[in-house]
Chains A and B, each alone.
Chain A
Amino acid sequence: MSVQTSPQPADVTPAPAPFLDVRDLKVHFPTEDGLVKSVDGVSFTLEKGRTLGIVGESGSGKSVTSLALLGLHKGTRAQVSGEIWLEGRELVALPEAGMRALRGRTVSMIFQDPLSALHPFFTVGSQIAEAYRVHHKVSRKEARGRAVDMLKRVGIPQPERRVRDYPHQFSGGMRQRAMIAMSLVCDPELLIADEPTTALDVTVQAQILDLIRDLQEEFGSAVVIITHDLGVVADVADDILVMYGGRRIEYGTTRDVLKDPQHPYTWGLLQSMPHLSGDVGERLNPIPGSPPSLINLPDGCAFHPRCGYKGWVPQGRCTAERPELRLVSGGERHLAACHLSDDAKQEIRGGDGPDGRGAAAARAAQ
């Protein structure tokens, strides 16, 4: 991961180009009510064999970002700008035909709802085989053999028999496995998983997360996992990007972001939900208000109407000036977009444990 405080042209980067390099991505939708800025200047990089977790609440632009990586906004009214570099190829400007050659093969996606990705009238096996045949000139029989292999690999018992089943004959967890099998059938180099476990029970979620991790180790692909659940990213991600209102507000390694969070919104996310080992006598500390409208994002810091710390920033900067994403002092590649000074943060979190979730911050927020 390279540190970028603002988008830079490709030729400035000295190090070898990252496997995936997203620069200042914007996806805007013109609607009757106005321009919806679903993604508004998002940048990140990802190497092979690594996992990036994109976190944020609903409507923060996570899914729209992932669809852009797959080029699925092409031919819609969406206005996409910025650059998506994948192994030296730029995808935003790539025509649909070129994108189609990549989709399913180099870049592949696991959706939240497996039923929307699996066709109800075709057997699971034929759909996996078809996904393979789109990119490989093989006989039906060979493709079917490949489908059986994939089902076996994702842990479907009796794959020779289950390959003939229809999606509705599979349970929720098995369908999710089947979809993972389908998205991995061409050994993609970049796998995008949009809320892959949100619809699943915890025991099945744990199985699927383990599976994604194991398959990644085996194939060395890059994975982008999108979720609203900080527990899920803690489990699988190397890096975390926190989004709010279509923009990045914090970006760093999983350990940095979760153990030393630097943005009041990230503090809020970590403090608002109970933990299995938390003190049950303590009240939860919710983030007040609700997520912003993407048509009329608040001026200055988009989080300011819900932020309990804007009083710590002098001269009303929070409401007037949009904070740039900048390097956290002492961190190597930990970025946060907040006007709070280091001293102020120190004081707010003073006397707490190292994870910054302590009681002083909780009191200050109220």
Chain B
Amino acid sequence: MTAADEREHAVSTTEPGTGQSTDRLAAENLLEVRGLQKHFPLRQGILFQRQIGAVRAVDGIDFSVGPGESLGLVGESGCGKSTTGRLITRLLEPTGGSVVFDGEDITHRSPGRMQEARRDLQMIFQDPYSSLNPRHTVGTIVETPMRLNGINPPQGHKKRAQELLETVGLNPEHYNRYPNEFSGGQRQRIGIARALALRPKLIVADEPVSALDVSIQAQVVNLLQDLQREFGIAFVFIAHDLAVVRHFSERVAVMYLGKIVEVAERESLYTRPRHPYTHALLSAVPEADPDAVERRERIRLAGDVPSPIDPPSGCRFRTRCWKAQDKCATVEPPLTRAEGSPTGHLTACHYPEEPTVTAREEDIVLDPALG
């Protein structure tokens, strides 16, 4: 049994959403997330703002990441991926649940005290244009985390910053340049150098390549992979591109409307998805291969993702699910281990057993326009 297997066993002994972790292996995990919630209040009125509801962006999720492991987080726009990333790095205050990082509960840590943990817990953002201060030189940007944390490398800040620039494949002589002098891919490298400055144990990478040109994406993915291997950094890798996530992450979690609906080892998730939503997502990925287009099964869901303000009762996916039955509207399916999966494939569906992606032969088309 691998370490990852053990972790999955540990997860399944935990009641989802209770926030109580009873497993003994929890201590071995670098990151433990239990019952994590973020509800953004919706207010109305200009002077006397009344709360009229809440956006349930993240609504009770559990997962863990081991040292040096890469966990992928996929799902469609608005399902709560970025919010999850910001909760873990404590850029946002959780509404409920807990975040334990490196054995310490950081769920409600004050920003001042977060500073320490942040050394080990860094974030890379999607947009390489807005995430760097345009008035600071590259050198200042990369050095700032060191200065804020009172870290004085023996070789000096400048030397260290230049080493970091070199590590991410930039010219150390770019130290005095400004972000607007760089291309998107280069800016993303600057953001990565900044995240590396404190030698973190975990990096939350929120769509690190989505804004980049196709030909540049692979450069950045390779860089992140080298860093992960060389420095043993663990990753929470957020992306909507399922092929990129598969390439980068050993384990993958699928989110839908603020919930994790499936988590499994990469191979298990991509070849034998148990949740109908994962199935649909995989069948919708366009592949640059005319033969794959002909072979491929087609699952076309109806409509869009419902609003997280008023999510469907029971299973949140039921409004678009072709397998939904009465029970799905009343009972929320918990994240449980799929039958017959020794590797710890967790899925949140009442009726998960279905043929594999390739074994299915019929199209499933729910879209009214396509009939």
Contacts and interface: CB of A to CB of B under 8 A. Distances in A.
Interface of A: 57-58, 153-155, 157, 171-174, 177, 201-207, 209-211, 214, 228-235, 254-255, 258-259, 268-270, 272-278, 280, 283-288, 290-291, 306, 355
B285 A283 contact: no
Interface stretch (B36-44, B141-149, B211-219): B211-219
B246 interface: yes
A272 B214 contact: yes
B367 to A, nearest CB: 5
Given A230-B288, A258-B290, A273 B218 contact: yes
State the majority secondary structure of interface residues on B.
helix
A275 B286 CA distance: 10
Contact of A276 (B246, B303, B369): B246
A202 B281 contact: yes
A207 B76 contact: no
15 contacts: A155-B369, A173-B303, A201-B240, A201-B304, A202-B240, A203-B301, A206-B284, A207-B301, A228-B213, A232-B286, A268-B215, A274-B243, A274-B246, A280-B266, A287-B215
With most chain B CB atoms within 10 A of its CB, the pick from A155, A172, A214 is A155
B287 interface: yes
A254 B290 contact: yes
With most chain B CB atoms within 10 A of its CB, the pick from A207, A269, A306, A355 is A207
B289 A258 contact: yes
The 3 closest A-B pairs by CB, nearest first: A155-B369, A231-B286, A286-B218
Contacts of B368: 155, 157
B288 A203 contact: no
A235 B217 contact: no
Contact of A285 (B76, B218, B243): B218
Contacts of A57: 213-215
Interface in B56-92: 76-77
Interface of B: 76-77, 183, 185-186, 213-219, 221-222, 225, 240, 242-244, 246-247, 266, 270, 280-293, 298, 300-301, 303-305, 367-370
Contact of A284 (B218, B288, B301): B218
A209 B77 contact: no
Contacts of A259: 289-291
B290 A202 contact: no
State the majority secondary structure of interface residues on A.
helix
Contacts of B240: 201-202
Contacts of A287: 215, 218
Contacts of A283: 222, 225
Contacts of A174: 304
Contacts of B219: 286, 288
With most chain B CB atoms within 10 A of its CB, the pick from A254, A255, A270, A274 is A274
Contact of B214 (A211, A228, A233, A255): A228
A355 B225 CA distance: 27
Contact of B286 (A155, A229, A272, A285): A229
A235 B283 CA distance: 12
Contacts of A280: 246-247, 266
Contacts of A211: 367, 369-370
Contacts of B292: 234, 277
A210 B296 CA distance: 14
A273 B243 contact: yes
Given A57-B213, A155-B367, A276-B242, A284 B286 contact: no
B168 to A, nearest CB: 14
A157 B341 CA distance: 40
B304 A171 contact: yes
A234 B222 contact: no
A227 to B, nearest CB: 10
Contacts of B225: 283
A203 B281 contact: yes
Given A172-B304, A232-B286, A275 B221 contact: no
B287 A205 contact: no
Nearest to B77: A201
Nearest to B270: A276
Given A172-B304, A207-B367, A286-B215, 10 more contacts: A202-B76, A235-B286, A254-B290, A258-B290, A259-B289, A270-B288, A274-B247, A275-B288, A276-B282, A280-B266
B215 A291 contact: yes
A287 B77 CA distance: 28
With most chain A CB atoms within 10 A of its CB, the pick from B217, B242, B281, B303 is B303
